[in-house]
Amino acid sequence: AQSVTQLDSQVPVFEEAPVELRCNYSSSVSVYLFWYVQYPNQGLQLLLKYLSGSTLVESINGFEAEFNKSQTSFHLRKPSVHISDTAEYFCAVTDPSYGGSQGNLIFGKGTKLSVKP
């Protein structure tokens, strides 16, 4: 079965420092990959997704993620973080094992990014 591993449960960084949040998935079949963000006391919202084409995808607020098929990874990066980036970040992958729908996702356990002044 498909699984998603987020290697760090918590990542503390100082403001304006670079950050990388790591994500690895298990399946070698074709998958779609997503990063979601959850700000305090809110639901999740999509940050970016990889469907096909260029392996580097970007979000509107400066995050980017690179799909690496050989390493089955989809790490999230930002060159300079802000206090407002403090949130929990979830990596997710489509699960082809459910027969009834193609919309199911398998989520990692999340990484809490804490940006300090």
Q: Which residues contact another protein by CB under 8 A?
A: 9, 32, 34, 36, 41-46, 49, 51, 90, 94, 96, 98, 100-105, 107-110
φ/ψ of residue 37, rounded to 5: -125, 140
Task: Tell me the closest approach of the beta carbon of residue 1 to another protein, in angstroms.
Answer: 10
Comparing CB distances to another protein, the nearer of 1 and 117 is 1
Comparing CB distances to another protein, the nearer of 42 and 117 is 42
Comparing CB distances to another protein, the nearer of 37 and 115 is 37
Comparing CB distances to another protein, the nearer of 78 and 90 is 90
The alpha carbon torsion through 61, 111, 21, 16 (nearest 10 deg) reads: 50
- Give the separation between CA 108 and CA 25, rounded to whole angstroms: 9
- Is residue 4 within 8 Å of 89, Cβ to Cβ? no
Task: Tell me the closest approach of the beta carbon of residue 15 to another protein, in angstroms.
Answer: 25
Task: Tell me the closest approach of the beta carbon of residue 44 to another protein, in angstroms.
Answer: 4
